[in-house]
Amino acid sequence: MDLLAPYLENSACASRLTDDEIDEQVTCLTELAVTPAAAKCTLPAAFALIASSPSDPRPQLLAATLLERSRVRDHMCETWAALFDRFPQLDTALRYWVRWLNRQGKTDEAVSLLQKLFEDGVETDEDLVAQAELYSEIRDPGAADTLFGQLVGRHPDNVRIRVIYGKSLFARGDILRAFEILDPVRGQRLSPTAKAVVERNDRAILAMETIRPDSAKSYPTGPDALFNAVSLFAHRKTREISDASIDGISFYTGSLGAGGAERQLTQIASALHQRSRTGRNIAGTTITGRVDVIVNTIDASRGKDFFQKALQATGVPLSITQDMPAKPKAALPSHLEILEDLLPILPPNSRFGLERLVVHLQHQCPDVLYIWQDGAVLTGALAALVAGVPRIAISLRGLPPNLRPHLMKPEYRKLYQALVDVPGVTFSCNSKRAAEEYCNWLGLEKDRFSVLYNALMPLPTEPAHEDTALWDAFDNRTADAEFTLGSVFRMTPNKRGLLWIDYAAEVFRRHPKSRFVLVGDGDEWDALQAKAKLLGIADRTLFVGRTNSPGYWYKKMDAVALLSENEGLPNVLIEAQIFGKPVISTPAGGAQETFTPGRTGYLMSSATNPSQTEFMGFITHLIGHPDHRAAMGKAATQLAQSRFAFDNILGQTVRHFHGAHISPETDRPSNVTHLPRQIASTVAAPRVRDAYNIFASS
């Protein structure tokens, strides 16, 4: 939806202004919009200006820019696209369009757009400069360098081209190459803007060398600037926190979207918040201060707000980093002013955290910042150090980025290598496998990371009316069924839903009295249904979609299968066992830590190339031996209640905040509580479970 379109449609009877009058109003409104609030206040005047002169690009460009300054998120990509479509001469509109495509993860689309726009060749040097800058915007340094190289080759003495190229290199953190490109213009008469670019690059090199002698020559990139910045805190001294109490815990993550990590964070934050309010201690520790959650964004259009209602229903305060005012200089203590010179070359996510999060943390003053997932570490770790947070607990929820290339960022490894040497910083993973892989990747001793398993929460079993109607219809048309295979997962390529359907078809071919239940939705929903129809099992397969009653559906299954390629600690395997269902899984991530192979489930040999023959052997045994299947289910329930007991994991978490090393081998629950007791143990559980999302199960 183009946000400017309504004002163009209502312009038929509007009066027309002269060029000078338009320029005057545009200038006035631009000068007034110095803050997001001021920009929002000036929007009505800008919209009126559009209606008065609908064929003039200036009012529309002004209004779109004011929407940006007002921090409007929804439909901005479409707005800039429509503006560029109306006025192809507006490079600013193109730049913002590309930027929003990139923000939305549509990098390929952004690249295709640029290629299409310039497919007839670049006619002028200005076009070449614009193209090079846009490739820099979408972080395609190879394409940008090629174009800038052509420009410098054609015009080696052109100061403007060198300054633009140097600014681009500086923005990537490549300060040595920027120095080389900018060196020929030194001593010349430069505009204030060009002079500022040269001086800023020089200050960054000096700051790098000041922190770590010769580092600017050895580490000329943004990731290394981040490493140097974190290194400033290698010998930091912080305020002491009591062994018997914790005065404030802030959880920090990217969003509250539909995912297993987000659900775990919501549950644990809600439980700690409740304990703080009631004064009930956890593992001998009382939470005396505020427990809150900080997220970078709550973007409903992208599903980033799924657990927001569940969190707020339990009373946990929620803050959004994106809405915090940017105050980089005010946030830096005097002894850390050198960071101001490094700030422009830090990775964008770390800059974002420094500019917005530091002041908030200084104001809240928590004893603990509990950071979840790699992306949030990149944004929040340096900000927490600058704010002086005594305990920074980093929770990593899957295999390291080097094993998940689509999530890899060049700054991760150096960031973690610097953080491991900082006092008060601790690391945990939610599986032994992930902890070992992180240590291997970073070159650390094997047990450097703690292991905190996912905490088991009771699942709602009361079905909604639509659930029972859906099941009854399916049960009637498959009344001959003697075995039901099911699963709960996001229908994305990583979960291998299409392969799951292939296997289901083979199960049905060999065992015609079988049927299948899949809970979840996602990008591959239509493809899975089409494949089930193609393979002739559409009538034997129930696609449930989302549900708020996962326990109801687990009860309908006889066994649960998961064929993922990559996992953290898959909740679906834990939950299935709670309901006494044997599981079959690939050895993805920490999957094998959720059950006992041969006793409560079956572990396949490969996550990369799972064997259908192996899978069918397991299924045939389950179908052919119902007594053994029942025994496996009983053992599965006992294992899940013991290994993932909520109160036990909560106690381990608090001990971890105090610096204790947590290991599943040494931290076993002394008293295993049964599920009804667990439900009573946390007031937060009933409300959080109402917002259960099947996306989070896998």
- 245-451 belongs to which CATH class? alpha beta
448 by Cβ neighbours in 10 Å (0-12 / 13-18 / 19+) ranks as middle
> For position 267, what pLDDT does the model report?
92
Residue 684 binned pLDDT confidence (cut-offs 50, 70, 90):
very low
pLDDT band (50, 70, 90) for residue 550: confident
pLDDT in tens, 280-339: 999 899 999 999 999 999 988 777 888 999 899 999 999 999 888 877 565 677 778 888
Better-predicted residue by pLDDT, 127 or 144: 144
pLDDT at 258: 78
Class of domain 465-644+668-697: alpha beta
Q: Are 506 and 617 in contact (CB under 8 A)?
A: no
Q: What is the mean pLDDT of residues 439-451?
A: 93
Find the mean pLDDT for residues 68-93: 89
In whole angstroms, give the CA distance from residue 316 to residue 300: 19
- Looking at residue 592, the DSSP 8-state letter turns out to be G
Least confident of 87-91, 470-474, 634-638, 690-694: 690-694
Q: How high is the pLDDT of residue 37?
A: 85
129 with 144: CB under 8 angstroms? no
The answer on pLDDT for 687 being more than 50 is no
Task: Please classify residue 644 by burial: count the beta carbons closer than 10 Å to its beta carbon, then call 0-12 exposed, 13-18 middle and 19+ buried.
Answer: buried
Q: Three-state DSSP class for 90?
A: coil
User: Residue 214's pLDDT band (boundaries 50, 70, 90)?
Assistant: low
Stretch 385-394: mean pLDDT: 96
pLDDT at residue number 332 = 75
For 53-70, write each residue's pLDDT tens digit: 888 999 999 999 999 988
- How far apart CA 525 and CA 54 sit, in angstroms, is 43
Q: What is the rounded average pLDDT for all residues in the chain? A: 87
Give the pLDDT confidence score for residue 396 in this predicted structure: 95
| pLDDT > 80? residue 675 | no
Residue 559: CB atoms within 10 Å = 23
Q: What's the pLDDT score for residue 696? A: 37
Q: Residue range 662-678: average pLDDT?
A: 53
pLDDT digits (tens, 9 = 90+) for 186-201: 888 899 999 999 998 9
Q: Residue 212: is its pLDDT beyond 80?
A: no
Given a cut of 70, is residue 605 above it in pLDDT? Answer: yes
What percent of the chain has pLDDT above 90?
A: 57
122: pLDDT strictly greater than 70:
no
Per the CB < 8 A criterion, the answer to whether 140 and 111 are in contact is: yes
Residue 670 has pLDDT above 60, yes or no: no
Per-residue pLDDT at 698 exceeds 70: no
Average pLDDT over residues 661-673: 65
Residue 115: what pLDDT? 77
Cite the beta strand spans of 207-329 per DSSP E.
245-246, 249-253, 286-287, 291-295, 318-320
Residue 330 pLDDT: 56
What band does 215 get if pLDDT is binned at 50, 70 and 90? Answer: low
Number of C-alpha atoms within 13 angstroms, CB side, residue 367? 21
**Are 319 and 360 spatial neighbours (Cβ–Cβ below 8 Å)?**
yes
* Largest Cα span, the chain: 88
Share of the chain above pLDDT 70, in %: 92
* Predicted confidence (pLDDT) at residue 232 exceeds the cutoff of 80: yes
* 453 CB neighbour count, 10 Å cutoff: 25
Q: How sure is the predictor about 104, in pLDDT bands with cuts at 50, 70 and 90?
A: confident
pLDDT exceeds 70 at position 614: yes
The DSSP code sequence of 327-385 is -HHHHS-GGGTTHHHHGGGS-HHHHHHHHHHHHHHHHH--SEEEEESHHHHHHHHHHHH
Between 116 and 516, the more confident residue is 516
Q: Which of 371, 306, 405, 308 is nearest to 696 (CA)?
A: 306
Q: How confident is the model at residue 15 (pLDDT cuts 50, 70, 90)?
A: low
Bigger pLDDT: 684 vs 69? 69
**Domain ranges within the chain, ordered by starting residue:** 245-451, 465-644+668-697
Task: Tell me the torsion sign for CA atoms 214, 217, 219, 225.
Answer: positive
Query: How is 460-514 classified by DSSP, letter by letter?
Result: --PPPHHHHHHHHHHHHHTTT--EEEEEE---SGGGTHHHHHHHHHHHHHH-TTE
The rounded distance, in Å, linking the Cα atoms of 400 and 403 is 6
Question: 50-64, 265-279, 316-330, 403-417: which has the minimum mean pLDDT?
Answer: 316-330
- Tell me the pLDDT tens digit for each residue of 619-636: 999 999 999 999 999 999
Looking at residue 692, what is its pLDDT?
Answer: 39
**What is the spatial distance between Cα 146 and Cα 143, in angstroms, rounded to a whole number?**
5
**458 has pLDDT over 90:** no
Helix, strand or coil, per DSSP, at residue 446: coil
One fold for 245-451 and 465-644+668-697 = yes
The alpha carbon of residue 140 and the mean position of all alpha carbons in its chain are separated, in whole angstroms, by 21
The answer to whether 416 touches 439, Cβ cutoff 8 Å, is: no
H/E stretch holding 417: helix 411-419
Distance CA 489, CA 486 (A): 10
Q: Which of 61-75, 334-348, 680-694 has the lowest mean pLDDT?
A: 680-694
Q: Is the pLDDT of residue 649 over 80?
A: yes
Looking at residue 121, its pLDDT comes to 63
Nearest C-alpha neighbor of 323 from the set 3, 37, 31, 105? 37
- Written as one letter, the residue type at 414 is K
Say yes or no to pLDDT of 666 above 90: no
509 residue type, one letter:
R
* Beta strand pairing call for 583-585 and 514-519: unpaired
Write down the pLDDT at residue 240. 87
Indicate the pLDDT class of residue 686, thresholds 50, 70 and 90. very low
